[in-house]
Amino acid sequence: MSIFTRTIATQGLKALQSRANEAGENWWKDLLSLWRPSGQPSGNDGLRLAIRNGSLNFYFQGQSIAKVCFGHGGVPRIETHVKYVTDGQEAQDHAKLIGNQICLPHGDKTLPYNGLRTLREWIGRASQYTHNEKRFVDDIVGANESVIDVEMGLPAWGTRTSALRVDFVTLAQKAGETCITCWEAKLMSDARLCSRTEPEVLQQIQNYKDFFKAQGHGEHVQTAYREACRLLVLFKAMAERCGHPGVALSDTIISTAKGTSPLTIHPDLQLVILNDSASGERKHWPMHEAKLKQRGTDPIYFAGSVPSKRRLPESIA
């Protein structure tokens, strides 16, 4: 059984520190310049940083633009889907950026890395693959400085053979404690919210509850996110040394990194819904909503198209 962790090996961190400190430009400095932590809108090319188990992911509206991996001795590289690198690529393959050379899969050829221009080209291609639910999540991240993770996966356990996906995770201080809360985002038009019997999303919520009932899972997640906060603070310092003082982290993230308050986990997977349905479809929604509430799920709703108004309730996040 794999354990939920959020960590980067010491050698890898030293390599990133070195790249942040060296003269001239490089891809790590470029990624830090595009990093938009939670509470800041992503705009046309802002990236969300998510810390993983031994790697980092930089997302644009849910699309992984750059996965920072580490080889022998902590040498860092970027992996990205080949369809973001060149046009007309639909195969499930990845290109690698090592130094200033982009290596296409199967040894086909290499391309030069041209700094921010290259990353923005990748972002432009990736924008063709995003969709309304991913944009909705990114709007929420931009309006809430409490978000500390996106596209999160809880590892398989028991009889499960695949990870349990969570759209985003928040960290908020309440009554002297800091609470980790996991969230699922859906569009009201999503068929997984509607059923004549039981909506599919209810099984997803139950799977989440079952995960945290298992011995040790809660402690693993608490430890992981305290380390994630420590790393976010470290990367903020790197960004500032590279000349990007606008990277801001919430006081809660900073205090969690210092270990000054206990961590708890909200027992429920919170459901947030964007009302994107036509009026004719919405008239049936009360029936579906009643099924959710009967099972203890009380959704939070958003409407309209103004990203700055995606503020989560302070009572939860």
pLDDT tens-digit profile of 118-131? 999 999 999 999 99
| pLDDT at 75 exceeding the cut of 90 | yes
Q: Which of 201, 52, 46, 182 is nearest to 126 (CA)?
A: 46
Element (H, E) at 119: helix 116-126
pTM of the model: 0.95
- What pLDDT is attached to residue 278? 66
Q: Reduce the DSSP state of residue 80 to 3 states and report it.
A: strand
- DSSP letters along 261-280, please? S-EEE-SS-EEEEE----HH
Predicted confidence (pLDDT) per residue in 183-241, tens digit: 999 999 898 998 878 889 999 999 999 999 999 999 999 999 999 999 999 999 999 99
Q: For the chain, what's the residue count?
A: 317
Q: How many CB atoms lie within 10 A of CB 236?
A: 22
| pLDDT at 170 exceeding the cut of 90 | yes
C-alpha span between 224 and 253 (Å, rounded): 13
125: tokens are 């291609």
Q: How many CB atoms lie within 10 A of CB 256?
A: 27
What residues form DSSP beta bridges with 183? 168, 270
- What pLDDT is attached to residue 317? 75
Predicted confidence (pLDDT) per residue in 143-152, tens digit: 999 999 999 9
Element (H, E) at 203: helix 200-213
C-alpha span between 314 and 146 (Å, rounded): 10
| pLDDT at 281 exceeding the cut of 80 | no
Phi, psi of 249, rounded to the nearest 5 degrees: -120, 150
- Average pLDDT over all residues of the chain: 93
Q: Per-residue confidence at 73, pLDDT binned at 50, 70, 90?
A: very high
- What pLDDT is attached to residue 70? 97
Classify residue 9 as exposed, middle or buried by CB count within 10 Å of its CB (0-12, 13-18, 19+).
Answer: exposed
Q: Which of 139, 223, 136, 143 is nearest to 180 (CA)?
A: 223
Predicted confidence (pLDDT) per residue in 18-50, tens digit: 999 999 999 999 999 999 999 999 999 999 999
Q: Per-residue confidence at 279, pLDDT binned at 50, 70, 90?
A: low
Q: Reduce the DSSP state of residue 168 to 3 states and report it.
A: strand
Element (H, E) at 98: strand 94-98
C-alpha span between 20 and 32 (Å, rounded): 9
- What pLDDT is attached to residue 280? 54
C-alpha span between 112 and 106 (Å, rounded): 17
C-alpha span between 35 and 247 (Å, rounded): 8
Lowest average pLDDT, out of 215-219, 283-287, 299-303, goes to 283-287
- Helix axes 217-241 and 10-21, enclosed angle (nearest 10): 20
Predicted confidence (pLDDT) per residue in 238-254, tens digit: 999 999 988 999 999 99
Q: Which of 171, 152, 155 is nearest to 163 (CA)?
A: 155
Classify residue 77 as exposed, middle or buried by CB count within 10 Å of its CB (0-12, 13-18, 19+).
Answer: middle
